[in-house]
Structure 1
Amino acid sequence: MRADRLVSLVLLLRRHGRLSAAALARELEVSTRTVMRDIEALSAAGVPVYAERGRLGGFALLPGFQTELTGLNHDEALALLVAGSRRGAQAFGLGSALASAMRKVVDALPESYRVTAAGAVQRLLIDPETDLLSRRLVAEEVPTTVVAEIRRAVFAGHKLRIHYAAADQAPTWRTVDPIGLVTVRDQGYLLATRAGADRTYRLARVLAAEELDEPAQRPDRVDLDRVWQERSTRFRTGGDQVTVLVRVDPARREDLVGAALAVHAEEADVDGRLRLEVTFQDQRHAEWALWQLATNAEALAPEWLRTSLRDRAAAVATRYAGPS
C-alpha cells in the first residue's frame, strides 16, 4: 500500500505543481507525519522532490521530471482519460487508440497482476451492444478522418471549416470557432460559436472537416459542463414547443414525464387517472411521446394532436384489417 501511496504522491505533485504537507495528507488520507516520511523515501529513491519554505510554500518536483507509461502517445493518453465510457471513446474516434493504450497498460503490469487482471476482465461486461430486450444499441458512426480533424482543431484552438448537413436542409460549408466535444447517449456533439453566436453541431451530420491555421475566437479556459447545461436549457425552452393536456394511467406517469420537457400542472381525475399539463419540444415530439403510451394515455388538447393520433391509429387498423 505504501508503494501505491508513493506513486499517488508523485502524481499529485505532477498535477498540481506544489502542495503543502497538509494538502497532501488530505488527498492521501494519511497524517502529515506519514507524508513527511514518504517525501524522505522518495528523495532517497532519487525522485527530485524538494521543499519550498514560506506561507505559500510546500513540496514540488524539479521542473522536467516525468514519469512515463510504456510510451503512450497523445491519442492513447486521451483515450484513457475518456475511458470511463467505452462508447465515449468511440464517439470521439478514439476506439483504436483506446485498445492500443490498454494493451500498453497491460504490458506494463507486473506478471502476477497481469494474470489476475486477464481473469477479472472476463467477468466484467460494460455497455453491451444489446439490452435485455435484445434491442441493438447502435452508436452514431462518424468517419475517423472527420472526427480526427475536428479534435485537432478543438485542441489546437484553431478555426474549423465543416461541411454540415442540418436536419431537412442541404449540406453547406461553414466556418466555426470550436469550444469542445461532448458525448451524450452515444451521440457526439461539437460545441462552437459562429460569428459570435453559440452553435451546437451533431458529429454524425458533419460530412467533412478542415482545421484552419487561423486561431479560434474563444476563451483560454472553459467549463464544458456548465456550457452544455446552459445550451441544454436554451434548447428545452426555445423552438416550436407545444403544451399538451393529457390523461394518463398512473402506472405510466413516469414514462410520460420522462419524455416531456416540463410538467406545469397535475391533478387526479375522477376515474383514478392523472391529468397533466406537459410541454414537448415540438409537434412531432408530442405525437411520438403519446403514441408510445397507446391506450394508457389520452391527449385531451390541443385538437390537432388528437386528430393526428386518431389518423395514425386508423391507418394502422386499416393495415391490419385484412389477411397478411
Structure 2
Amino acid sequence: MRADRLVALVLLLRRHGRVSATTLARELEVSTRTVLRDIDALSAAGVPVYAERGRRGGFALLPGFRTELTGLNHDEALALLVAGSRRGAQAFGLGSALASAMRKVVDALPESYRATAAGAARRLLIDPETDLLARRLVPEEVPDAVVTEVRRAVFAGHKLRIHYAAVDQAPKWRTVDPIGLVTVRDQVYLLAARSGADRTYRLSRVLAAEELAEPAERPELVDLDRAWQERSTRFRTGGDQVTVLLRVNAARREELLRTALAVHAEEPDGDGWLRLEVTFSDPRHAEWALWQLATSAEALAPQWLRTALRNRAAAIATCYGVRPES
C-alpha cells in the first residue's frame, strides 16, 4: 500500500508541479504527517523532492526529473474497466484505485498530448451528484471493508460469509457462493447461490463480510447480464405481488410506470386521466407508489389499498390540523 502511495505522490508532483502538503494529503486520503514521512522516504531513495516555503509554498520535483512509474496494479486496471461510470467505480469500492490509475494514464501520455487531454477532460461531466432540479443523487453507503471482502471472494472464487439484514428480519449470518456483482441506479447487488439455489443480496444490507478459504460451488463461466435478466424476471413474476386498478393523471403516467412492475391494461378515463391495471412487487410497494402521486392518482381496487392510503392521509391531516401557538 505504501509503495503505491509513493508512486502516486511522485505522479502528483510531476503533474501539478508545486503542491502543498495539505493538498497532497487530501488527494492521497492520508494525514499531512504521513505525507511528510513519505516525502522524507522519497528523498532518502534519491527522488529529488524539495520544499518551497511561504504562503504559496509546497513540495516539487527538480525540473526534468522523470522515471517509469506508470505500471498499473490489479485494482487500478480493474477500475479502468468499470470507468465508463464513475459511480460504478465508487459502487464497487474502486474509487481511489480509479483516481490513482487515471494519474498514471495521464503521466504516460506524450508531453504534447497531456495539456490538451486535461483541457478536454474539463469539458466533460459524467454522472453529476445532482440533477437539473437540484435533487441530490445519493448512492447507497456500503462500508469499504464489506465491499473489499465481497469483491475478493467474487474474484477468488471462494465462499463468503455475510451478516445480512433482510427486510423486516433480524440480521443473521449466511454462507453463500458468490457469482458476481451488479450495480443498478447506484444500488449494488451480489448475485450468489446458497445451498444450490439462486440468491440476490443488496450490498447496502450486508453489515459484515468474510471471505472463506473454501472454494465456491459455482459455474466456471458466467453470463452476468443473462443471470440478472433471469432473476429480474423471477422477481417480477413471483413473491407477494399485487395487481391494482387505478386512475392517474396523464401528466404523471410516466412517473407511475417507472415504479410499476408491469402494466396489464390501459384506457382513457376522461378529463386528461387514464385508467390502468398495474402490478407492484408487494403491498408496501403499491402503497408507496400511489402515495408519491398524491392527488394525481386514485387507487380503485383493492379496497385494502384505498383504506391504507386513506388512513395515512388522515394521520397527516391530524398532525397538521391544529396550528401550534407561537
- Tell me the TM-score normalized by structure 1: 0.76
Q: Distance in 1 between matches of 2:204 and 2:273?
A: 41
Q: Which residue of 2 aligns with 1:316?
A: 316
Residue 319 of structure 1: how far off its partner (Å): 2.2
1:285-315 CA deviation, whole Å, 9 max, x = no partner? Answer: 1111111111111111111111111122222
Aligned partners of 1:290 and 1:298 also within 8 Å = yes
What letter is aligned with 1:247? Answer: R
SS at match of 1:322: coil
Q: Distance in 2 between matches of 1:87 and 1:272?
A: 39
Q: Distance in 1 between matches of 2:254 and 2:151?
A: 38
Q: Which residue of 2 aligns with 1:20?
A: none
Q: Distance in 2 between matches of 1:250 and 1:146?
A: 44
1:71 paired with 2:71, answer yes
Structure 1 segments unaligned to the other structure (5+ residues): 1-67
Residue 272 of structure 1: how far off its partner (Å): 4.8
Q: Distance in 1 between matches of 2:249 and 2:143?
A: 44
Q: Which residue of 1 aligns with 2:235?
A: 235
Q: Distance in 2 between matches of 1:249 and 1:205?
A: 35
Q: Distance in 1 between matches of 2:90 and 2:107?
A: 23
SS at match of 1:323: coil
Q: Which residue of 2 aligns with 1:91?
A: 91
Runs of 4+ in structure 1 over 4 Å off: none
Q: Which residue of 1 aligns with 2:204?
A: 204
Structure 2 segments unaligned to the other structure (5+ residues): 1-67
SS at match of 2:70: coil
1:177 paired with 2:177, answer yes
Aligned partners of 1:261 and 1:280 also within 8 Å = yes
What letter is aligned with 1:231? Answer: R
Q: Which residue of 2 aligns with 1:102?
A: 102
Residue 144 of structure 1: how far off its partner (Å): 1.6
Q: Distance in 1 between matches of 2:157 and 2:265?
A: 46
What letter is aligned with 1:148? Answer: T
Matches within 5 A, 1:150-229: 150-229=150-229
Between stretches 97-106 and 209-218, larger displacement belongs to 209-218
Residue 186 of structure 1: how far off its partner (Å): 0.7
Residue 161 of structure 1: how far off its partner (Å): 1.3
SS at match of 1:129: coil
Alpha-carbon RMSD: 1.6
% identical aligned pairs: 84
Between stretches 220-229 and 201-210, larger displacement belongs to 201-210
Q: Which residue of 2 aligns with 1:50?
A: none
Q: Distance in 1 between matches of 2:298 and 2:194?
A: 42
